[in-house]
A and B are shown apart, each in its own frame.
Chain A
Amino acid sequence: MTTSSAGIQSSLQHRIVVDAERKASNSGLAELWRYRELLYFLTWRDVKLRYKQTILGVTWAIIQPLLAMLLFTLIFARLAQIPSDNVPYPLFAYAGLLPWTFFANSITGSANSLVGSAGLVTKVYFPRLIIPAAPVMAGLVDLAIAFVLVIPLLAYYRITITWQLLLLPVFLAWATLLAFGVGTLMATLNVRYRDIRYALPFLVQLWLFASPVIYPLSIVPAKWKWVSMLNPMTGVIEGVRSALFGHPFDWPALAVSFAVSLLVTALSVFYFRRAEDNFADVI
């Protein structure tokens, strides 16, 4: 195509063809990119609404993991004497709770997002993938706030930070990707099967115990460690801890965990795109 007429080009850019014979007529990546501002606005809405009409407001983002940390310290460190890889248990638990709370809140928010946006889905078109993505992005804001507490905790327990801290954003990005993948899968299933609403809280709880949030991966017997690494959250949590505390990274194990994350996310997006054409009729 020549560049002779920008006008014609721009209207060609917006040519939409929908054919009943073709599967997944919707949203390519280009279209998703065009709607990036909507993702921003929906995220912003979720952030704005999250703590409306609460007394403590945004402090809840810190209170949630903080209370869990105190509870875990009392029960698992004091009573059950669970080790914590030579890091004081409260800090150890908080470092695991940060990605975990983000993940758990995000997938719960995502799972209910499509059904909760039935009004949007049946009345206006935009790439549907934005809907389950927004609660994850909004969760990142909470994660950032909760992170503020890490600094005084590190200082209080006199942990020296290393260059490895620079890798922290990588693991948080990984957590975001995984939360998006799992959340999207749950949201898609929820449109069709409202069972998800009841099954999800149980699944989240089960997943918490299957992940090294409360306990260190090192207490898992060596021959079962690879099973544990198949859980994508294991990689995220171990990675975050290593980055914070300067422990050596277990690269092969992280690679396995990451590969599973990619697979889960890819399958979930694939399933979503097959199902999205029918959302308006089924929701």
Chain B
Amino acid sequence: MEPIIKAEGLGKRYVIGANRSQTSLRDDLAARASASFRRLRGGARDTSPTIWALKDVSFEVQPGEVVGIIGRNGSGKSTLLKILSRITKPTTGRFTLTGRVGSLLEVGTGFHSELTGRENIFLNGAILGMSKSEIESKFDEIVAFAETAQFLDTPVKHYSSGMTVRLAFAVAAHLEPEILIIDEVLAVGDVAFQKKCLGKMNEVARHGRTVLFVSHDISAVNALCSRSILLHEGSILKSGETEDVTRFYLDSANKLYSPVTWADLPEKENTDIQLERVGIEQRETETSAIDCREPFTIRLEYENKKALAGSRFFIVIRNARGDIVFTTSDYDLLTEEAADRKVGRFNTEVVIPGGLLRAGSYFGTVGADIKNERIIFVENDVLDFEVFESADDTLAERHKRLGLVAPLLQWQISEPTSKTKS
């Protein structure tokens, strides 16, 4: 059968550093002038640093297939979707799509808060590529799906965020192209609604439509996709049966994102404390894919070259948005070993409890200092790990709530003791 999606050698290069969006005419003219001046002198060409977000990606999708695309942040998933959705042009390669394409890179694109629910259904539907008659014929279905019938003529600015998302997804879910490209849109709304959306997507898939589904949520990919593609650093690392690919992804996470070993790197001399290795372990294996229910250990291996009384290690954990989630130090619950730094090789471990972090990507900075005196070293972002939630709806719900962490806490109910009087 002829593939419905055929990609050959797709690549995308971005210029990094200079923020191109804020150019002024003067800057551009100046840059052009200096570039031609350099060329005149036979000097180097434009040397703006570039990055290949996607490199030589080729694959085929048969009609009716539901294909998952997985990979961690920065692996090129979103770039691939943007190219296939024709939002941006590839730098190399070509692709063919044989059919009507609908892409959902975001829920509620083009929603306007001043317009009513009814008006937004039409506007959003049209933006997603539906015709007016198509929207009209599905209007009641969309409204029923969104469960917002009584607010249809209220401006969306008065909606709760949950309602807006439901309405937006309802429109999107009724898009009926031959090829549907979806990015992470299930990561919205409450759990009950998410289930409904997954059900709807399953239905879409069963109706023989071709779906490309990009997600962080391994369990959703497992549930929906027959075949998957694993992207890593812009290239396809593995593709095949979803189960194999997702297992490979989780298992090999530690190989893909190996712990930092200074022995492998050009030596960074430190006369006080030489950090040699930083690693993360869960269930006694090194990994950077963390099951969020279970505790995990961050281990530092280092050599004290001097006895440094009063020195302390700290670890700063930041989430993908750059917010500091917490900072911890071995000085907090001071042990004898931490108080008395002796010369020699040591390992320091800290256990991060399970059921604390939200699902998502994290970076950790490791450092040491002497209180009120000086910083011994700081290694920025040497830890790089991903927290996953296994597929269990009742517990996964907490990851959607507000807050930097999603702790699983004990709640207790008891009858008031004062009432026993009677």
A interface residue numbers (CB < 8 A to B): 11-12, 14-21, 25-26, 35, 37-38, 40-42, 44-45, 48-49, 52-53, 119-126, 192-195, 277-278, 280-283
Contact yes or no, B109 A124, CB < 8 A = yes
Q: Could you tell me the distance between the alpha carbons of A278 and B127 in the complex, rounded to whole angstroms?
A: 20
Give the residue name and chain of the B residue nearest to A41 (CB).
B126
Contacts of A40 in B (CB 8 A): 126, 132
Chain B positions within 8 Å of A44 at CB level: 123
A16 touches B101 (CB 8 A): yes
Residues of A within 8 A of B127 (CB): 38, 41, 120, 124, 126
A45 nearest CB neighbor, chain B only: B123
| B86 proximal to A (CB < 8 A) | yes
- B96 engages A17 (CB within 8 Å): yes
CB<8 Å pairs between A and B, sample of 12:
A11-B178, A14-B97, A15-B98, A20-B90, A20-B92, A41-B126, A42-B123, A120-B127, A124-B105, A194-B22, A280-B82, A282-B21
Q: Do A11 and B98 touch across chains, with their CB atoms under 8 A apart? A: yes
Taken together as a complex, chains A and B put the C-alpha atoms of A18 and B106 apart, in Å, by: 22
Chain B 82-114 against A: per-residue CB contact (8 Å), 1 yes, 0 no?
110111111111111111110101100110101
Does B23 contact A122, Cβ atoms closer than 8 Å? Answer: no
CB atoms of A119 and B94 under 8 A apart: no
Set B24, B89, B92, B126: member contacting A277, Cβ < 8 A: B89
Contacts of A121 in B (CB 8 A): 87
Number of chain B interface residues as a range: 35 or more
CB B81 to nearest CB in A, in angstroms, measures: 10
- Tell me the minimal C-beta distance from B285 to chain A in angstroms: 39
**In the assembly, what is the distance between CA of A121 and CA of B109, in Å?**
10
A52: chain B residues at CB < 8 Å are 114
Q: Which 10 A-B pairs have the closest CB atoms?
A: A19-B94, A41-B126, A125-B86, A193-B25, A277-B89, A16-B97, A280-B88, A123-B109, A20-B90, A195-B25
B79 to chain A, nearest CB (A): 10
> What residues of A have a CB within 8 angstroms of the CB of B257 in the complex?
none
User: Provided the pairs A16-B101, A192-B28 are in contact, do residues A123 and B87 lie with their beta carbons within 8 angstroms?
Assistant: yes
Question: For the complex, what is the distance from the CA of A48 to the CA of B86, rounded to whole Å?
Answer: 29
B129: chain A residues within 8 A (beta carbon): 35, 38, 126
Evaluate contact between A14 and B23: CB separation under 8 angstroms: no
**Considering the chains assembled together, what is the distance between the CA atoms of A48 and B106 in angstroms?**
24
- Judge whether B276 is part of the interface by a CB distance below 8 angstroms: no
Chain B residues, Cβ within 8 Å of A45: 112, 115, 119, 123
Query: Which of B24, B26, B105, B114 has a CB less than 8 Å from the CB of A123?
Result: B105
Which of chain A's residues has its CB closest to B24's CB? A195
* Residues A281 and B106 in contact in the complex (CB < 8 Å), given A16-B101, A38-B127, A124-B128: no
CA distance A124 to B126 in the complex (A): 11
CA distance A195 to B126 in the complex (A): 32
Chain B's nearest CB lies how many Å from the CB of A112?
A: 15
CA distance A202 to B25 in the complex (A): 17
Give, as a whole number of angstroms, the nearest-CB distance from B228 to chain A. 23
**Chain A residues in 8 Å Cβ range of B92:** 20
- Check A16–B112 contact: CB distance below 8 A: no
Considering the complex, give the chain A residue whose CB is closest to the CB of B88: A280
Asked if B346 is an interface residue, CB under 8 A from chain A, the answer is no
Given contacts A15-B97, A20-B94, A123-B106, contact A26 B24 (CB under 8 A): no
Given contacts A11-B99, A120-B127, are A18 and B21 in contact (CB under 8 A)?
Answer: no
Residues of A within 8 A of B89 (CB): 18, 20, 25, 277-278
Q: Shortest distance in angstroms between B158's beta carbon and chain A's nearest beta carbon?
A: 14
Report how far A162 CA is from B87 CA in the complex, Å.
51
**Closest CB in chain B relative to A72 CB, distance in Å:** 33
